[in-house]
Amino acid sequence: MDQDLSGIRQRAENDLVLSFLAVRRAIGLLGLFLPLALIAYGILSGEGIRGSLSSYYYSPMREIFVGTLCAQAVFLWSYEGYRPVEANWLTDRNLSRAAALGAAGIALWPTIPEPGAPEVVCTLTQCVFGLQFTRVVHFAAALLFFGAMAVTFVCLFTRGDDGEPLKRGANRIYRACGWIIIAALLLIGLVQFTPLGSDLESWNPVFWLEVLASAAIATSWSVKGRRLQTVVRAIAGVR
């Protein structure tokens, strides 16, 4: 009887681990899919690259943009992570849910359309609150999403025994991804709120910095989902 109960408990634990891995991998895949889909659209349509990821809300990729972010929000909200040993607000669950709210906010509170963008029926948030207020909420949601991800990678994913080679290699990736996101956010702020933005406008710096941050999110969650193990082993120096 004890052996049967032990087997049932082990299967349940294995199913839970697989569920965690599936959620992590889904978040990583969605983080990679969206920028690649938008880049492919820009190239194949002949339209070229727009000024930001969010500007694709006012394009035929609108449904892809909103749908992907909402799906990512659902997975992030459902992610529990590790339960804290003691009371602590800085937990996997709290930060993933903050990121989920940010992702949903980006999708549901769109930015102001770029000059020359085709007119679309205004969303409920734009009609009720106005374009400028909606833009502020959109910017705050993006900051919440990327900021929560950066803190998660630097402060939470790196918890654990650094003495284990594979964990040490994974931690290096997590920290690198977190600091890449922070650097991208700072550079986006520099471009958005200084004359530098006008000088670099033709290069679409905000778009590419957002792509870089999204790639960092995809990489970190993929590693957490136990993909990219070859890369982790190489960084850890394990054959």
Q: Which of 164, 152, 143 is closest to 224 using CA atoms?
A: 152
Specify the pLDDT at position 120.
55
Residue length, the chain? 239
More confident residue, 44 or 90: 44
Grouping H, G, I as helix, E, B as strand and the rest as coil, residue 206 is helix
Domain interval for residue 188: 2-236
pTM (predicted TM-score): 0.86
- CA dist., res. 59 & res. 65, Å (int): 9
Q: What angle do CA 184, 190, 194 make, to 5 degrees?
A: 160
pLDDT, one tens digit per residue, over 111-164 is 877 666 555 555 656 666 667 788 889 999 999 999 999 999 999 999 876 678
Which of 91-100, 152-161, 184-193 has the least mean pLDDT?
Answer: 152-161
Q: Is the pLDDT of residue 4 over 70?
A: no
Structure tokens at 233: 């082993």
Residue 86's pLDDT band, with cuts at 50, 70 and 90, is: low
Which of 176-190, 205-219, 225-239 has the least mean pLDDT?
Answer: 225-239
How many folded domains does the chain comprise?
A: 1
Specify the pLDDT at position 18.
45
Specify the pLDDT at position 152.
95
